[in-house]
Amino acid sequence: EQRRIEILRGADVFILPSLVEGLSLALLEAMSCGLACVATDAGADGEVLENGAGIILNTHNVTTQLQTLLPLFKDHPELTTLLGQKARRRVLERYTLSRNIAQLEMLYAEVLRERNLKLSSLI
């Protein structure tokens, strides 16, 4: 665990070129470490990076897109810094454990309310 965090903190950019993905925990970890993140729009990863929190690649031409992006990152380190700051802000705003627990509790409460309404209409 600690070694993985050290590796992430030593990087400038995190690239996740998955063709199939749900929501990548590795992506969220990289974002929390303040890395500029690049991922495909497979699964929910594209949604996580929306609105400037990272760069979203189309799964059909990942190689071409990376050939364009990687020199930009190398030549403009301020871009990776800005993207890393935005990524960290996004993960802290939306993907913390306490926020996820609160959302899950609200979902369960809503399901129970709907169930109770259905049951009361049967009585």
pTM for this prediction:
0.81
In a domain, residue 59? The reply is: yes
Q: What are the backbone angles phi and psi of residue 102, rounded to the nearest 5°?
A: -60, -40
Report if residue 41 sits inside a domain: yes
121 or 25, higher pLDDT: 25
User: What is the domain-level CATH number for residue 47?
Assistant: 3.40.50.2000
**Is residue 27 domain-resident?**
yes
92: enclosing H helix or E strand: helix 77-94
Q: How far is CA 12 from the centre of its chain?
A: 16
Higher pLDDT, 37 or 8: 37
57 with 41: CB under 8 angstroms?
yes
Domain boundaries, position 39: 2-96
Q: Is residue 70 part of a domain?
A: yes
Give the model confidence (pLDDT) of 12-48 as tens digits: 999 999 988 889 999 999 999 999 999 999 889 999 9
State residue 1's pLDDT score. 79
112 domain-assigned: no
Number of domains in the chain: 1
**Is 123 domain-assigned?**
no
105 falls within a domain: no
pLDDT at position 105: 94
Percent of the chain at pLDDT above 70? 99
Domain assignment of residue 77, yes or no: yes
Give one DSSP letter per residue of 33-67, joined into a string: TT-EEEEESSTTHHHHTTTTTSEEE-TTSHHHHHH
